[in-house]
Amino acid sequence: MSNKVIWNDVDKYIIDKLIPNDPILDRVLLANYNAGLPSIDVSPTQGKLLYLLAKIKGVKNILEIGTLGGYSSIWLARALPPRR
């Protein structure tokens, strides 16, 4: 079994166990696909990691440069505190 297969299996396990289905993110991926954008979005596990890193750091502002279809931007934006 190749390393890629192993990591894909690990990624799928983590997604299935720790990242619930999210209709908004699913719609974003579908819209990106329908728009013909390249399929280079971060994975759900990478998105969750971005969210956790921003949340742990307690960020109040985020600037993402080079966003394509907005998938990782949503993960990061969800880590921001509510606006006053």
Domain boundaries, the chain: 22-84
DSSP class of 36: T
**pLDDT category, 2, cuts 50, 70, 90?**
confident
pLDDT digits (tens, 9 = 90+) for 11-69: 889 899 989 999 999 999 999 999 999 999 998 999 999 999 999 999 999 999 988 99
Q: What is the pTM of this model?
A: 0.84
pLDDT surpasses 80 at 4: no
More confident residue, 1 or 68: 68
CA distance 84 to 5: 46
Given a contact cutoff of 8 angstroms between Cβ atoms, the answer to whether 19 and 46 are in contact is no
**Residue 74, pLDDT score:** 96
